[in-house]
């Protein structure tokens, strides 16, 4: 074994991992070879230098940093679906609460704006006839000018004789009406919608009715249509704001009931009669809403209890000649609007 082979085993010799025989061979060689002995000594010193280097302390933050990373790693990663959506046990209650909140908010908003909607509706119901009447009047006049006689719509005589009824004031045609050639007649206090229909169907009849209303004596059965309706519409439009308070709560059908009872009374002196009626209304605990005077005609609008209507009728009979024979009010006690038109006796 030459020096090169011996020196290759020096590392193992130092670590004492050689067999006893190999170790003996090296020991023998070292006795006779000072160069190899020096080489072994240098190698031993080298190893001692390496073993002698100090150990270094790791950074104090290293453990915390490692554990932070490990803990982050240990947390179960949520899938895309889980990250986008909450689990069902959270999502369901949240969804239910949200639904209830939306429903309550909707209800609140609806209740808040409900009166506004009804107020907005009311004028359209009442203004529409005015507009259509305005549009139709020239046509009627034109028909008269041309001497054309439009088909006549007979009025319900019997119906008028029955007097004004609140039931009737709801509008619509009644089977009780006297048979007519074309169709049942409209009631005196028929709704404005029906007035419009009547206007369309029998303009001449309406014209006649208007004339009769002013000139024909009480017994004559007149059809108070366009003028009265027109005035009524205006009156209603004016009164609407006052009715907006409690009236705003009324339904649409109830509003239709609010159309006033129209009583036409022929008197000698409308002015004096008007004052007397105002006094009477006060006595009957009624409330005079409006008093109008025009062309020798006086119109007193008031609000009165239904139970006092009969007394009012009696009083009107004393003051003048009432067109309607009897007020047949069978409804339960409530306030009703009354429009008393005082016309000078012809």
Partner 1 sequence: MGIIAMVRKGDVDAFEKLVGKYQKMLFNIAYRMVDSYEDAGEVVQDAFLSAYRNLHAFKGMSRFSTWLCSIVINLSKNRLQQMKTAQQHEQYSLDDPIEADDGPIAREVPSGEATVVEELEKEETRKKVQDCIGRLESEFREVIVLRDIQGFSYEEIGGMLNIADGTVKSRLFRARDALKECLKKVLGKL
265 bridge partner residues? 322, 342
- Rounded least distance, CB 76 to partner 1, Å: 10
Closer to partner 1 by Cβ: residue 19 or 332: 19
Q: Does 175 bind partner 1 (CB under 8 A)?
A: no
Cα-Cα-Cα-Cα dihedral sign, residues 195, 196, 199, 200: negative
Site for partner 1 in 16-35 (CB under 8 A): 17
Question: Minimum Å distance from CB 77 to partner 1?
Answer: 13
Residue 340: both structure tokens together: 């008393």
What lies within 8 Å, CB to CB, of 1 at 6+ separation is 25, 29
Instruction: Count residues binding partner 1 (CB under 8 A).
Output: 35
Are 159 and 174 in contact by the 8 Å Cβ rule? The answer is yes
Q: Could you say which of 49, 77, 89, 111 contacts partner 1 (CB under 8 A)?
A: 49
Residues 207-236 close enough to bind partner 1 by CB under 8 A? none
Judged by CB, which is closer to partner 1: 66, or 117? 66
Under rule CB under 8 A, residue 8 binds partner 1 = yes
Nearest by Cα to 200 from 136, 259, 256: 136
The window from 41-49, 266-274, 313-321, 332-340 that contacts partner 1 (CB under 8 A) reads 41-49
Quick one: 2 or 57, whose CB is closer to partner 1?
57
Burial, 113: exposed, middle or buried (Cβ in 10 Å; 0-12, 13-18, 19+)? exposed
Q: Which stretch binds partner 1 (CB under 8 A): 48-56, 95-103, 173-181, 268-276?
A: 48-56
Q: Based on the shown chain and the rule CB under 8 A, indicate whether residue 113 belongs to the binding site for partner 1.
A: no
Among 5, 24, 27, 46, binds partner 1 (CB under 8 A): 46
Per the listing, tokens 């105002």 go with 278
Options 6, 10, 126, 323; binder of partner 1; rule CB under 8 A: 10
Between 55 and 94, how does the x/- string for binding to partner 1 read (CB under 8 A)? xxxxx--xx-xxx-xxx-xx--------------------
- Give the C-alpha separation, 78 to 75, whole Å: 9
Q: Which of 51, 78, 89, 330 binds partner 1 (CB under 8 A)?
A: 51
Residue 62 or residue 100: which is nearer to partner 1 going by CB? 62
Given a contact cutoff of 8 angstroms between Cβ atoms, the answer to whether 99 and 230 are in contact is no
- Whether residue 263 contacts residue 324, with contact meaning beta carbons closer than 8 Å, is answered with yes
* Helix axis angle, 88-145 to 203-215, nearest 10°: 70
Looking at 54, 149, 181, 295, which residue binds partner 1 (CB under 8 A)? Answer: 54
- The Cα 261–Cα 338 span in angstroms is 5
CA–CA separation, 242 and 66 (whole Å):
80
Nearest-CA neighbor of 322 among 222, 175, 234, 197? 222
Q: Is 100 in the site for partner 1 (CB under 8 A)?
A: no
Nearer to partner 1, 41 or 92 (CB): 41
- Residue 227 burial by CB count (10 A; 0-12/13-18/19+): exposed, middle or buried? middle
DSSP assignment, residue 220?
S
Q: Which is nearer to partner 1, 37 or 67 (CB)?
A: 67
Interface pick for partner 1 out of 24, 28, 37, 45 (rule CB under 8 A): 45
Binding site for partner 1 (CB under 8 A): 7-12, 15, 17, 41-43, 45-47, 49-59, 62-63, 65-67, 69-71, 73-74
């Amino acid at each position: 074994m030459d020096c090169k082979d011996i020196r290759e085993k020096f590392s193992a010799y130092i670590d004492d991992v050689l067999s006893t025989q190999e170790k003996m061979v090296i020991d023998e060689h070292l006795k006779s070879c000072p160069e190899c002995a020096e080489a072994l000594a240098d190698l031993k010193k080298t190893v001692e230098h390496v073993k002698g280097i100090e150990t270094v302390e790791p950074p104090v933050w290293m453990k915390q940093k490692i554990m932070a990373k490990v803990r982050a790693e240990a947390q179960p990663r949520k899938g895309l679906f889980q990250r986008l959506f909450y689990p069902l046990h959270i999502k369901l209650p949240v969804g239910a609460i949200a639904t209830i909140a939306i429903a309550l908010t909707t209800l609140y908003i609806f209740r808040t704006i409900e009166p506004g909607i009804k107020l907005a509706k009311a004028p359209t119901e009442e203004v529409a006839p005015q507009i259509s009447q305005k549009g139709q009047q020239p046509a009627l006049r034109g028909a008269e000018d041309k001497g054309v006689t439009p088909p006549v719509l007979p009025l319900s005589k019997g119906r008028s004789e029955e007097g004004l009824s609140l039931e009737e004031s709801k509008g619509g045609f009644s089977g009780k009406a006297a048979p007519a050639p074309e169709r049942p007649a409209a009631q005196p206090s028929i709704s404005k919608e029906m007035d419009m229909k009547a206007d369309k169907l029998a303009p001449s009849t309406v014209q006649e009715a208007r004339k009769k209303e002013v000139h024909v004596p009480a017994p004559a059965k007149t059809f108070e249509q366009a003028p009265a309706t027109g005035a009524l519409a205006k009156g209603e439009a004016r009164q609407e704001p006052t009715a907006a308070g409690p009236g705003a709560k009324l339904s649409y059908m109830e509003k239709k009931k609010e159309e006033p009872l129209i009583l036409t009374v022929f008197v000698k002196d409308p002015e004096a009669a008007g004052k007397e009626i105002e006094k009477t209304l006060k006595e009957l605990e009624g409330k005079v809403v409006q008093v109008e005077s025009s062309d020798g005609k006086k119109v007193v609008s008031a609000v009165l209890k239904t139970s006092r209507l009969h007394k009012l009728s009696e009083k009107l009979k004393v003051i003048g000649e009432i067109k309607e024979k009897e007020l047949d009010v069978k409804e339960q006690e409530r306030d009703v609007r009354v429009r008393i038109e005082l016309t000078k006796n012809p």
